Each structure stands twice: as structure tokens, then as C-alpha cells.
Amino acid sequence: MTDVAIPLMTEPDHGRGEREVDELLAALQAGTVPPRWPWAVGGVAVGAVAALIATSVFGGSTGELADTTVAELVAVDIVSTDMIWTIEYDATLGFGETVNVTSGANGTVTSAAEVGATLRRGDVVGRVDDVPVVLWYGKLPDWRDLSTTSSDGRDVLQVETNLRALGFDPDAAMTIDEDFTSATSAALARWQEAVGLEVTSAYGQATVVFAPGPVTVTQATASGNRVTSGGSLAQLALQSVVDDVVGEDGIVTSTATSAQSLTVAIDLGDADDLPVGRIVDVELADGTVAQGEVVEVGTVASNRQGAVGITVTIGLVGDVDTDLTEGPAVISFLDRQLLGVTAVPVRALITLAEGGYALEVVAEDGSTQLVAVEIGDIQDGLVVITNGAVQPGQRVAAVQ
């Protein structure tokens, strides 16, 4: 319902001093309580609707009014609402695990991934003597070359899973397991030809770097530079961890969980706000909204801006859609809440001369009744009425 103006007025108490009237007007204009004629409440008859007429200037020795200001009253709704309070902390987004990519041979860097670029499964990290090093997904470091003469192992399973996920086993001829077969060799040959490698049908560990998921390039040896075998070609920061599952139909399904984390510096006395396992809301600098979970609470205290502080680490939950790898963020979590409370605009409160507060309840016929109320929390211009004296759906007079 919209606010409805209440036109009736009552005369002010002319015995009130000029200074008091000016202070009341200033308070009224600032929107603070008390908003309405507290000195006159005791003398207002029930059933009369009042508007404040406050003297701003007195003229002559007779005390007659030289000027008056009228504050119009309107009828406003009593509502049922929820009030929710949260606690916020500034946080810093950081990289996940670092993956170091080394060269498999002495040579010259002929191309390098751009720093800041995101690389995914199948992307080229760099080339040495024009031989590519390609990113595949996996948590297991490779330690050997593979062929049909290799013994079974989990590394075979990891290679076959990537070949299937990248589409190089289109007829699902491979059984994705720990056994390197001729079907594995055929899929490898198709992949080698596609990326520009010598087709050997065997797996050479120097041509692939494994990371648990998508990465951001944080450092790269520039094109034209010499590298030695085992020398650094690039450094990658993990964005998310990918879990590959091969279904009965042979299709690889991948799910990702963010590997990035946030750090929050808090006072030691506030450590109870962020226990391990607490779920928090996260807003990143680009507006991305996500959830996080407290994974570590620091045990080493430091002097921070005159207070003893600790560092809390928060992991992002799920696959977070952002290109940010670092920067400021804000975390927040529920402090307390009041659900379904009865509330009115603060500007409807009347401060009683004898102490306490009242509301002027407006009936359907326009008549009013003064009702004493007890108040509680205030939020966003609304105050909670705690004693049940009024109900949602009723209307009360308030300063406009």
C-alpha cells in the first residue's frame, strides 16, 4: 500500500522555548527519533490525528507566532519482515598449486604460452626446437615412457583417459584400464600427428606435462632463449582440480573443483568467527559470487596494526567461473537473524513524555488510537515491535 497523507492538525505547546523547537526541527529534518511532539502526547485525545506544527521563530514580547513549519503525517503499513545481519571480512584471492614445466631436452624455445593465459587439456605450454609440450590432466606424475611392452600401471590409465577425453579414440577401441594395448598405440599415433609430433605410437613423457586441471601461466621462458634438459620452460598456477570418470559407455565425464583459495587476516580474538569447516559467501573483484569453506586457521600469531592477528585460509567450493587468479575479495557469513518479526518505520515512533514509545494506529475510518509499544532491533529504517501490541496489516501515522 502507498503512504496516505493525514491532513488533520493539533496546535503546539507555545510554552516550549525557541531553542527546543529549533532542536526538534533539526532532528526531524535529520530523520532521527523523536520525530513528533513528545511534549504534547499526554494531552492528545485518542481518536485525533495530529501533525506537528513547530514554532521556528517567535516575534515580539507577547510570544505570538511569527512563522510556523508543518510536518505532514502519512499512514504507513505495519509489516512482517526478516532482519538478517552478516559479518564481512576483506580477503585476498591467491593461486592454487604451482606446476613447474621443464624441458625434456637441450634446445631453443621456439614458442611460449602468454603469461596470464589459461591453459586447458590439450593446449600447448611451449615448444623447444619446435617440439611441443602439451598439457594433459592427471594427478599422477609420469615417470616412464610407455609402449605395448610396458607393464600395467595407473599411468597407463591416465594416458588412455586423456586420449579418450581429447577425442583420439573415436571408435572407443581402447579399453580404458591399466593395460597399454595396440588400441592405445593407435590413439597415441592420431594425437601425435594432430599436435605435430613424430608419430611413434609410443608415449614419451617429455612431450606431456600433467596438471590436475586448468592452469594459469604465471611465468614462461621467452621464445628465443636457450633451455637445458630439466630447465624451466614455464610455471603454471592451478585453477581447479578435474576428476575424470569413465562411464560404462566409455564416455569421459569431468567435474571440476576450484583449487584457488583466499586468505583472511583477522584479530586473534575473532578466531571463533571462522572455525574450520565454516561455509562463507565470497565475492571476487570481478563480481563473481561463490561459496568458500574454511580449510585452515593459522596457529602462528603476528602483530597486525597494533593487534595480535592470525591468517585464515578459505578454499573456493565447486567450479568457480572467473578468470581472476589473484586480487581482493570479500567474504561474509550469517551473524544472526530475526525471521517473521513485526516492524514499523522508525519515523512512526512517538517518544512519550513519561518515557517509552507509542504508535498512533490508524483505523479504516481514519480515527486513531495511541498504543504503547516496546521496541527491539533496528535495520534499514525499520524497528521491531516486541510486545505484540500491534499486528502486520495495521497502519500507523508517521512523519512523511
Name the least confident of 63-67, 223-227, 306-310, 365-369. Answer: 63-67
Torsion sign (Cα): 25, 31, 34, 38 = positive
Sequence-ordered list of residues with C-beta below 8 angstroms from that of 101, at least 6 positions apart, any chain: 125, 126, 133, 209, 232, 233, 234, 235, 236
Judged by DSSP in three states, 360 sits in strand
Q: Which superfamily is assigned to 98-252 in CATH?
A: PGBD-like superfamily/PGBD (1.10.101.10)
Q: Tell me: domain 260-324, CATH 2.60.120, correct?
A: no
Angle subtended at Cα 219 by Cα 216 and Cα 137, rounded to the nearest 5 degrees: 40
What average pLDDT does range 266-274 have in this prediction? 91
pLDDT above 90 (res 82): yes
Q: Which three cell numbers stand for residue 301?
A: 600469531
pLDDT above 70 (res 5): no
pLDDT at position 27 is 42
pLDDT at position 326 is 86
Sequence-ordered list of residues with C-beta below 8 angstroms from that of 206, at least 6 positions apart, any chain: 104, 105, 133
What average pLDDT does range 9-27 have in this prediction? 35
pLDDT at position 304 is 67
pLDDT at position 69 is 44
Topology given in CATH for the domain delimited by 4-82+338-399? 2.40.420
Beta strand pairing status for 208-211 and 131-137? parallel
pLDDT at position 71 is 60
The residue type at 321: D
Beta strand pairing status for 73-77 and 118-119? unpaired
What average pLDDT does range 279-285 have in this prediction? 96
Domain ranges, ordered by start, for the chain = 4-82+338-399, 98-252, 260-324
Q: Which three cell numbers stand for residue 330?
A: 570479500
Name the least confident of 35-49, 169-183, 218-232, 273-287. Answer: 35-49
pLDDT in tens, 311-320: 999 999 988 8
What average pLDDT does range 88-100 have in this prediction? 91
What average pLDDT does range 230-252 have in this prediction? 92
Tell whether omega for the bond before 38 is within 30 degrees of 0, i.e. cis. no
pLDDT in tens, 316-340: 998 888 878 789 999 999 999 999 9
pLDDT at position 147 is 96
Name the least confident of 120-124, 152-156, 203-207. Answer: 203-207
Confidence band of 249 (pLDDT split at 50, 70, 90): confident
| Alpha-carbon span 89 to 85, nearest angstrom | 14
| Percentage, residues of the chain above pLDDT 90 | 68
159 and 168 Cβ atoms separated by less than 8 Å:
no
pLDDT at position 119 is 96
How confident is the prediction for the chain on average, in pLDDT?
A: 83
